[in-house]
Chain A
Amino acid sequence: MAASAVKIVPEMTPAIDPSPATPQPAASVRAISKRFGQTSVLEDITFDVAEGEALVLLGASGSGKTTILRVIAGLEQPYTGKIILHGKDVTELPARERGVGVIFQSYALFPKMTVEKNIGYGLRIRRRPRKEIKKAVNELLSLVQLEEHRKKYPSQLSGGQQQRVAIARTLAYKPEVLLFDEPFGALDAQTRVHLRREIRVLLKKVNVPAIFITHDQEEALELGDRIAVINTGHIEQIGTPEQIYNHPASEYVATFLGAANILDGVFRFDNVEICGALIGAEVDPTRFKDGQPIKLAFRPEDVSLSKTDNLPDGVCRLSHGVVEEISFAGAYERLSVRLDLMPAPAEKSGDTPYYLTTETPENPTAKPIIATRTKPEASKMKLRVRDHVVVGLTSFTVLPVTAAE
């Protein structure tokens, strides 16, 4: 009954997005793998970017994001796999024949050329008539709002202005796809937020598909029509920001993108059993075998706390708990609640020992779960440290325990 409203992810391991948005994607990366010497850096990377879409590759530093970008641009040869741009296999083409626009992490503006010269470079080397170049440069200058800086050299511009020059320089030759490598890495926090709005607007205006690279989850959620989470050279999950955030396909994704509480449990009687207690969630029985260890993942904001046994409708009851700590975090209240779940006795072999983790999968020590409440929620029912509460979940995800963990 209560569990009917619980959102459960339909497919759990969609490393490949099953349905590209258009019949012919603007860019298509097919089963790319890459090695540097003996070390494998990319494994079986496959994704599509639709016309006008912005895809974000999100991953920790060193996960292989830049390498993916360089393979698409033709600056690096893949070990296996194909790159297809607008239906054309470009895997064997050199960088200069691909028509891909790369905005490098350092912008790579030509230091001895003025802003105008930088922007017109792509057309000059294509030997376009001077009039046409001048017209295109003027249009681009006004598009990126740099008209009054046209005669300046890159070193005389701010980071944000340099970035806009870099974008205009690639737009000049009408690239098939734009590739941004950590475009906001070198900028301060405020400029960053401001610029990513600008770029989003700009991209919608020019309607060029784009692939962004970032290790910043907030940036990924804001910039991407879709996000691909990269973990040590492979795609963990690809989907819309909403899908990735609300239905993470793995513990890695759940913890990399936002905070997540992870509880170890067992799949039993088509339900989730945590420390011998069935929590009343309906789980698709075809996904797991009876007795198979699983993980229960839920966001701090998906925790519902109540002083009475009456949880709101659609909330799945997890356990009793004690409030251990309350802190004020601006827009919301942050509580840590120690659950009344007891570690599984050692003789009950086959069960995973009970532990709790928050945020880091590397830290399996018993920790309270983290819950957040919005201001209205908090003021409706004041809670204090050492209060006993009933803990429920409005939404959660059941994850398989992967071999790697």
Chain B
Amino acid sequence: MSMIPTMRHVRGFDVVRPLSIGMLMFMMLPLVFLPLLSIFIFGTSKGLASFWSALTASEAVFALKLSMVTSFWATVFNVVFGLFAAYVISRHNFWGRNALIVTISLPTAIPTAVAGFALLLLWGPYGTLGRFLAPHGIQIMFTAGAIILANIFVTFPLAFGVIKPVFDTMSRSLEEASATIGATRWQTFWHVTLPSLRGAIVSGALLTFARAVGEFGSTILVSGNLAGRTQTAPLYIFAKFNEGQIEAANAIAIVLALFSFLIFSVLFFAREWLDVD
């Protein structure tokens, strides 16, 4: 027993270091690297031409576009909302403040299928609110609007979670200085507060967008999954896979994988820029 620590330090050679790094890599291999790699291997196995035709199939293009558009609007909403919520919560102390923070953060902990189901129960034709809207011909579920609602729900706390800590650590004296110089609240927010939040807003938006583009569980429940109408990219992958059209599914999978890879590269490598300036 007592030999082990001594051995480790023989001639300053540390066995633990290369061993642990190697083990980490090895564990990642089947868990992350190989699955990602196989998407690319399979997707391009029949040549680039067939990959391209799978990608440009009208339903595939529609699914990608729909994913982008619905994720975009969900992101816009959640960033604006997250900014507002973070401002209110970090600038004011009020009764129920902590309860509100928990509530805002809750959607991440709810299974996405449950989230989609909950939306159906509220807005669906027989839902709590939906049944009053249905007679007026207003149908929210099974439309692009429903997809946006579901995206908003499941990505709700992401932007808020990134922006709030920045608000909390921001020195109040900057805003006070701006006020004494003569700025209105709005001018102070626009010229002083917002520039300091730029990094947090960009990374919050990218996180929200990446998460929304990949959303499946809630979308499949609320969208109706109609090809060419309410089918987002992840739903398209699932549908084509079920129909046995592996190649069609694979082409979109590659696009989504590359896309998230891109977003996280931006988040990772532009960190300097996002934080500092």
Contact = CB atoms under 8 A, between A and B. Distances in A.
B183 interface: yes
Contacts of B196: 111-112
B171 A126 contact: no
Interface string B177-197: 111111110010001100110
A74 interface: yes
A75 B192 contact: no
Nearest to A74: B180
Interface string A97-116: 11111101110101111000
A359 B107 CA distance: 63
Interface in A34-84: 73-75
B193 to A, nearest CB: 10
B192 A110 contact: yes
B142 to A, nearest CB: 45
Contacts of A108: 171, 173-174, 176-177
A61 B181 CA distance: 27
B14 to A, nearest CB: 39
B243 interface: no
Given A111-B196, A125-B183, A95 B191 contact: no
A169 interface: yes
B277 interface: yes
Interface string B203-222: 00000000000000000000
Contacts of A95: 176, 179-180
A103 to B, nearest CB: 9
Interface in B152-202: 171, 173-174, 176-184, 187, 191-192, 195-196, 198
Interface residues of B, number: 19
B263 to A, nearest CB: 25
Contact of B181 (A106, A111, A112, A121): A121
* Listed residue (A97, A108, A173) with the most chain B CB atoms within 10 angstroms of its CB: A108
Contacts of A113: 195
A364 interface: no
A106 B174 CA distance: 9
Given A104-B173, A121-B191, A125-B191, A75 B181 contact: no
A153 B180 CA distance: 21
A102 B182 CA distance: 11
Contacts of A358: none
* Listed residue (A73, A95, A97) with the most chain B CB atoms within 10 angstroms of its CB: A95
A112 B180 contact: no
B173 A173 contact: no
B181 A169 contact: yes
B200 to A, nearest CB: 13
Contacts of A110: 174, 177-178, 191-192, 195
A33 interface: no
Contacts of A121: 178, 181, 183, 191
B182 A99 contact: yes
B180 A100 contact: yes
B173 A96 contact: no
A96 B179 contact: yes
Interface in A222-259: none
A169 B182 CA distance: 12
A96 B182 contact: yes
A55 B277 CA distance: 39
Given A104-B173, A106-B173, A112-B196, A122 B179 contact: no
A112 B195 contact: yes
A99 B180 CA distance: 7
A359 to B, nearest CB: 35
* Listed residue (B178, B182, B195) with the most chain A CB atoms within 10 angstroms of its CB: B182
A14 interface: no
A124 to B, nearest CB: 8
Given A106-B171, A108-B171, A96 B183 contact: yes
A105 to B, nearest CB: 8
A104 B198 CA distance: 24
Contacts of B173: 104-106, 108
Contacts of A214: none
A126 B178 CA distance: 12
A94 B179 CA distance: 9
B174 to A, nearest CB: 5
B132 to A, nearest CB: 45
Nearest to A112: B195
Nearest to A110: B192
A170 B174 CA distance: 13
Nearest to A179: B180
B180 A101 contact: yes
* Listed residue (A100, A104, A112) with the most chain B CB atoms within 10 angstroms of its CB: A112
Given A99-B182, A102-B176, A110-B178, 13 more contacts: A75-B180, A94-B179, A95-B179, A96-B182, A96-B184, A106-B171, A108-B171, A110-B177, A111-B196, A112-B195, A121-B178, A122-B182, A169-B181
4 interchain residue pairs of minimum CB distance = A108-B177, A112-B195, A108-B173, A95-B179
Interface of A: 73-75, 94-102, 104-106, 108, 110-113, 121-122, 124-126, 169-170, 173
16 contacts: A73-B180, A74-B180, A75-B176, A75-B180, A94-B179, A95-B180, A96-B183, A98-B180, A102-B177, A105-B173, A106-B171, A108-B177, A110-B191, A121-B183, A125-B187, A170-B180
